[in-house]
Amino acid sequence: MEKQRKKEIITEYKQKKSTGGVYRIYNKETGKGFIKGDENLEAVENRLLFSQKINSAFTIVMAREWAEYGPDCFAMEILEETKIGDEESPRAFKDRLKKLEEKWKERYTPEQLY
């Protein structure tokens, strides 16, 4: 690949805005879930798929149920998607995602969450 094209590809990658948002990873048997905001939902989904492939609990808080029900019993649900604003700093974006996460957690009872 020519050097100029490599530079273009790298620049495009760096400028690409990933989709962030709030997601829930839940046990399909019990309905109990884990809600979190993240800057890159695609990366979270890949991490879940990898965790399932190697049979390693996605988080410590769901390890007991992961061992009991198995990795295929867990799924990811995207609750809300958002992108970083043009003038928004990465820190402000993380803060906004944290607020969205808290908003979504309020919709569930403590028994429904890890």
Residue 4 domain-assigned (yes or no): no
Q: Is 5 contained in some domain?
A: no
In a domain, 6, yes or no: no
The boundaries of the domain holding residue 31 are: 19-112
pLDDT of residue 18: 78
CATH number of the domain enclosing 85: 3.40.1440.10
pTM (predicted TM-score): 0.84
Count of structural domains within the chain: 1
| Interval 33-60: pLDDT, tens | 999 999 999 999 999 999 999 999 999 9
Kindly state the helix (H) or strand (E) to which residue 73 belongs, with its residue range: none
Torsion, CA 49, CA 51, CA 54, CA 59, rounded to 10:
-160
